[in-house]
Each structure stands twice: as structure tokens, then as C-alpha cells.
């Protein structure tokens, strides 16, 4: 009786990534390490069961996250790159176990800069923070959240591809589909 086992030892590529390398190469096609890149690693999608994802996104938001999101008006009409990065960092740290593709695509809230501004948005994918005047149209994926942001009694609205999540001052989450 023959028994074939695959044994591994570690190999580090030029970028410092530790990779397993088979010691016995029986019938396996080995790919050159030069074709491996961080781009190909980061393009791997994580899939989360819909019920688990929904539970993750219904969790109460942290006080730190709410505090950062409320600072949007502090920068005035023009927002620095550093301030934008603090918003994006807050989103990433609030959802560490949620795959990037399932994180908010944007955030909208009532603007307190005064007339003529009504709401402001953070477009996470497009790296844009914008304050909108009462008469200005919002991007289509954000437009549906405008009335909730203005009149709903929420601190801000997280806009997702398939839903919205309205966040109260205490961090509780209401789902709008």
C-alpha cells in the first residue's frame, strides 16, 4: 500500500509574504513566484452569509464612529484630505469583519453649515465629501436617503448597495430597504 503525503515548509517571496511550498511535488504544476502580486491577493473576495452580514451591520455603532461622522461640518465647505482620511478610517475600523464590498458606499447627513446647504455626503468609493445646496440633486444612490437625513431624527444615514441604515445618536441602527 502506498501513501502519498504533501509536506510543506515556508518560503518567503521578495515582498516578505510567507508562502507554503510543497516539498514533494507529485503531479502538481508549480507556478512561478514572480507572477504573485499583492494585487492578486487583495482581489480575493470574502463572502459572508447574508444573515450573518445583516447581523453585523445591525450592530450598535460605537461612540467614536458617531463622533467622527459628526465632525463633517467642522471642516466647512472645503474638507482637507486628512479629514477625509479620518472618515474613511473610521468606516474601516467600525466594520473590520465586514468585507469591503459590503461596507457603506456612502454616508449622508443633515448639514449644519447654514443656508444654502441642506445635506452633506461622503462618497466612500469616489473619495468625495460634498455639501449640497437645497436645490442641488444628489447622486442617484444617495438621493433616496436625503429626506430621512433632513427630517428623520438620525445623526446620519449609511447608504449600501441594497439598503440604508439610519444611525441614531446613541448608535442604534434602523434598517431601511
DSSP 34-57: GG--HHHHHTPPP---HHHHHHHH
Reported as a single tens digit per residue, the pLDDT across 138-175 is 988 899 999 999 988 999 999 999 999 999 999 999 99
Average pLDDT over residues 116-123: 89
Average pLDDT along the chain? 76
pLDDT top residue among 4 and 88: 88
Q: How far is CA 9 from CA 13, 21, 32, 58, in A?
A: 13, 6, 17, 42
Q: Which is nearest to 89 in space by CA: 56, 127, 120, 55?
A: 127
pTM over 0.75: no
| Domain ranges (residues) in the chain | 8-42, 50-176
Closest CA to 103 of 63, 57, 135: 57
Q: Is 126 helix (H, G, I), strand (E, B) or coil?
A: coil
> What pLDDT, on the 0 to 100 scale, is given for residue 127?
64
pLDDT average, residue stretch 79-89: 76
171 touches 68 (CB < 8 A)? no
Amino acid at each position: 500500500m502506498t501513501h502519498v503525503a504533501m509536506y510543506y515548509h515556508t518560503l518567503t517571496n521578495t515582498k516578505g509574504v510567507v508562502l507554503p511550498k510543497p516539498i514533494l511535488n507529485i503531479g502538481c504544476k508549480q507556478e512561478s513566484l514572480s507572477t504573485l502580486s499583492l494585487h492578486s491577493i487583495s482581489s480575493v473576495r470574502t463572502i459572508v452569509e447574508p444573515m450573518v452580514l445583516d447581523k453585523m451591520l445591525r450592530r450598535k455603532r460605537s461612540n467614536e464612529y458617531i463622533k467622527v461622522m459628526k465632525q463633517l461640518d467642522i471642516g466647512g465647505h472645503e474638507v482637507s484630505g486628512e479629514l477625509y482620511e479620518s472618515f474613511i478610517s473610521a468606516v474601516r475600523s467600525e466594520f473590520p469583519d465586514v468585507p469591503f464590498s459590503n461596507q457603506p458606499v456612502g454616508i449622508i447627513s443633515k448639514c449644519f453649515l447654514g443656508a444654502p446647504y441642506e445635506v452633506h455626503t461622503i462618497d466612500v468609493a469616489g473619495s468625495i465629501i460634498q455639501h449640497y445646496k437645497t436645490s442641488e440633486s444628489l447622486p442617484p444612490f444617495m438621493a433616496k436617503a436625503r429626506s430621512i437625513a433632513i427630517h428623520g431624527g438620525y445623526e446620519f444615514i449609511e447608504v449600501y448597495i441594497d439598503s440604508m441604515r439610519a444611525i441614531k445618536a446613541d448608535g442604534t441602527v434602523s434598517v431601511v430597504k
